[in-house]
Structure 1
Amino acid sequence: MWDESYEAGHFGPQHGRLLIRNLRGVVTGRLGDQVREVETVLIENGRIIEFGGAADAADVVVDAQGAVAIPGLFDTHTHFAIGDFNPKQNAIGFIESYMHGGVTSMMSAGEVHFPGRPMDRDGVKAVAVAAARSFELNRPGGVRIHGGSLMTGPYMEESDYAELAAMGIWLMKVGFGGFDKPKDAVPHVRWAQEAGFLVMSHSGGASSVPGIAPITVDDLLAMDPDIAGHINGGTTSLPDADVERLVKESRAALQLVQAGNLSASLKIRELAAENDGLSRIILGSDTPSGTGVMPMAIIKTIAELSSIGRIDPTEVIAYATGNAGRVLRREEGILEEGRPADLVLLQEPTGGSQDHPLKSIARGDIPGIAGVIIDGQIRAQRSRNSPAPSRLITVRSSAA
């Protein structure tokens, strides 16, 4: 019998033990790893403590019914406005739906759609602090939300970045703040990075947001951000020659988004492979935006890249998990002992042609999501958005 207290909205790790058994394997999320053939995962106080051990006493036992466990997915390009709201598509309450798409961590790409977004020094600082603080107390679906991305502009001063860092603000977005020329942002990027910020830049063609200029490869190389946002298009991709320069001449993470150009994504991945840069690829949705609300954006991107690009599913999963976690300086994203217990249980979809969820991904089919666990807490069983999993997990509580 299911213990409903696990759905009560706790944000921290669940105290006690949760055992997952009858797995068909574990995808670690580490680039280059093959599937680990283990049948059990033991979780205690929100962290993984053992793989493959004998069934042990636990407060909650999950029978995975042959599911494959992967790390919870990161969406590294999400457009919140404030809380669980985005006015671009009049979207309210979308975060939990993304969790039902296997997303357990979401990163703000800047609260650019904030209603009446201020474009002054005090206003942009206030928006960043308010957004970050709100997500400390509000985690729809239990999703880890990294909000409050500072929308920097020429009105900012060097001292502002250290001040904001002291208040816990660590994300910044370049490209929407009113600079006459993108290269004018270069000193601001340096000041922010010196204060410990992770800096993402818009890249490619002009955004749908009025007044936003294209950001070229010369701009990106001058700014040297930590993440080159949606280089496959958000919605217009960088020219192929510019992408080649970015891959070869920069250190930035290479962000591919569902809202962009799939053909460009495949070319970028090929360039990254040729230049020892696969560890730099991360995935995002770039939603809600002009493309709309897409709860399955990340898992859909994984299936598309794997099937059309003929790329091993474990590699593409690593882009959205281990790679993203490393770029965002997070412990999540890798399934190993001692790490946070954020994971997704996958089955092949009911009625599909394949007998394994990774084979389904390689064919281009979205797998069935049979369970989502964040901080060692079960946040969803059968996904309301993915195809129906071929087998449903069962959950038994020791309180039953």
Structure 2
Amino acid sequence: MKVAITNIGRILSGDIAAPVGTGDTIVMQDGLITAVGTASAAEVEGCDVIIDADGMMACPGLIDSHVHITFGDYTPRQKTVGFLESYVHGGVTTAISASEVHVPGRPKDPAGVKALALAAMKCFETFRPGGMRVWAGSLILEPGLTEADLAEVAAQGLWMVKAGFGAFGDPSEYAPLVQAARRHGMIAMVHTGGSSIPGSGGIWAEHLLKIDPDVSYHVNGGPTAIPEAGFARLVNESGMALQLCTAGNLRTALLVTRLLAEKGELPRLLIATDTPTGSGIMPLGMWYTISHLAALGGLDPELGIAAATGNNARVYRRNSGLLAPGRDGDVVLIDACDGGSQSDALSGLRNGDVPAIGAVVSGGVPRFVGRSRNTPATIRKARVAKSTLMQTFDASAH
């Protein structure tokens, strides 16, 4: 399938070093972006589907790097079916597992945690709920695991490990396994803050500095934040990515963002949700965090979008998250909400409003064009100007 989006008001690239692009057109073919900014009339007319953005802004599909999936599009934590498909209507086109910790009766022995992670990874290799790509299978580090175990699962394609929910008495005991995982090319994430489930414990800045993971999960609390002095230590004494989650502490989210901005290290800032949890299901959670950082923290909203897209893609080594040729064809059209006080999506975010979503394309396939069922209506009206296919991709009934 070849798809073009034309008449874009502004292209938000997802690249935190150059967050605003030029031009008004994006072309995708066979799941990948082939052109950004400009395209010839012949190239556009040769597309199977042409979407007229009507002046809306385009940004990459959001990457939620902290989602507690289980199996299928179901969460036992909230007893809800279809939550991932609902997140697509919030502009989230990629979810990354923060471990399948909510699987009922989850195993805790070495053989069991390996089997759980590998099964989740395999189940989501071809299952795309609502068009979302899910990167599943985050190995929960438990006592008894060895470097040989890590080598075994890495050889089978597993690339994530999660520390913080295992039965280690001292969080510093995760360090050897985390470093072994990194030696085998795996990305290591560590729970940060107070305990969030029975049997887990608090992990503070001093523990993280000893463990030295790739990502400090929900550094602003999941849901309880670390002691105040620890934030400056993590920013100044480490190079790890610091992930903010909507289900955490807003005040410390603002603090972390300010400290990273002052140090010139906003590429380390990641935005995610940490859902589904006791905090619920939040299809617009990442947008709320971006709006909070913009309206209350003074962060340019296009930088917040980059922290939710390109920054996540770089840290997790994914091909999505940027509007650039060769990247995954994941594009979201955003606008100010109809009936609000602002005239465009970025102004709305600065005002504290989540954007209205007018279209979502993932994997180069339009998932809907028109009205998201999870946001107010857009001011401008995206439409399918041409389709040679049987589908219209219309979502006006929502």
Quickly name the TM-score band, shorter chain normalised: over 0.9
State the AA in 2 paired with 1:364. Answer: G
2:334 pairs with 346, 352, 357, which one? 346
Check the 8 A contact 2:204/2:227 in 1, yes or no.
no
Are residue 372 (structure 1) and residue 360 (structure 2) matched? yes
Match in the other structure for 1:251:
239
Runs of 5+ unmatched residues, structure 1: 1-14
In structure 1, how many angstroms separate the alpha carbons of the residues matched to 2:290 and 2:98? 20
Aligned twin of 2:273:
285
Q: Find the residue that maps to 2:124 and give its secondary structure.
A: helix
Q: Which residue of 2 aligns with 1:54?
A: 40
- In the TM superposition, residue 345 of structure 1 has moved relative to its aligned partner by 0.3
CA distance in 1, matches of 2:121, 2:104: 16
In structure 1, the residue matched to 2:147 is 158
Give the distance between the partners of 1:399 and 1:324, measured in 2 at CA: 33
Q: Counterpart in 2 of 1:310?
A: 298
Is residue 2:203 matched to residue 1:215? yes
Aligned to 1:105: 94
- The answer on whether the counterparts of 1:91 and 1:288 sit within 8 Å (CA) in structure 2 is no
The 1-side partners of 2:276 and 2:29 are apart by 35
* Partner SS, residue 345 of structure 1: strand
Choose from 387, 391, 398 the match for 2:388.
398
Alignment of 1:1-400 (within 5 A): 15=1, 17-50=2-35, 51-55=37-41, 56-57=44-45, 58-207=47-196, 209-381=197-369, 382-395=371-384, 396-399=386-389
| TM-superposition CA deviations, 1:276-325 (whole Å, max 9, x none) | 22110001100000101111111111111111112111111110011110
- Give the drift of 1:54: 3.2
Conservation of the 8 A alpha-carbon contact between 2:19 and 2:306: no
For 1:392 and 1:160, the matched residues in 2 are separated by 53
Structure-2 separation of matches of 1:21 and 1:321: 22
Q: Do the aligned residues in 1 keep the contact of 2:73 with 2:85 (CA within 8 Å)?
A: no
After superposition, give the CA deviation of every residue in 1:240-275 in whole Å (9 maximum; x if it has no partner).
210110111111100000000111011111111122
Aligned to 1:6: none
4+ residue runs of structure 1 moved beyond 3 angstroms? Answer: none
Percent sequence identity over matched residues? Answer: 44
CA distance in 1, matches of 2:168, 2:107: 14
For 1:370 and 1:248, locate their aligned partners in 2 and report how far apart those are by CA, in whole Å: 40
Q: Give the letter for the 1:116 counterpart.
A: G
Displacement after TM superposition at 1:380 (Å): 2.1
Distance 1:239 1:250 in 2: 17
**Contact residue 3 and residue 29 of structure 2 kept, 8 A:** yes
- 1:76 partner amino acid: S
- In the alignment, the residues of structure 2 paired with residue 288 and residue 385 of structure 1 have an alpha-carbon distance, to the nearest angstrom, of 17
| TM-score where L is the length of structure 2 | 0.94
Q: Is contact 1:83–1:131 with CA below 8 Å preserved after alignment?
A: no
CA contact under 8 A between 1:366 and 1:387: conserved in structure 2? no
Q: CA deviation at 1:399?
A: 4.5
Work out the CA distance in 2 between the residues paired with 1:267 and 1:186: 27
Aligned residue identity for 2:129:
P
1:14-53 Cα deviation digits (max 9, x unpaired)? x3x2111111010001113253241211222222222222
Does the residue aligned with 1:136 lie in a helix, a strand or coil? Answer: coil
Structure 1 residue 379: deviation in Å?
1.1
The answer as to whether partners of 2:355 and 2:375 remain within 8 angstroms in 1 is: yes
- Verify the 8 A CA contact 1:371 1:393 in the aligned structure 2: yes
Return the letter of the residue paired with 1:84.
D
Paired with 1:137 and 1:314, the residues of 2 have a C-alpha distance of 32
The aligned length equals 384
1:217 offset after TM fit, Å?
A: 1.0
AA of the residue aligned to 2:387:
S
User: How big is the alpha-carbon RMSD for the aligned residues of Structure 1 and Structure 2?
Assistant: 1.2
Q: Determine the structure 1 residue equivalent to 2:395.
A: none
| Secondary structure of 1:309's aligned partner | coil
What do the CA deviations read for 1:338-358 (whole angstroms, capped 9, x no partner)? 222111001111011111111
> Which residues of structure 2 form unaligned runs of 5+?
391-398
Match for 2:185: what amino acid? G
Structure 1 residue 105 displacement after superposition: 0.7
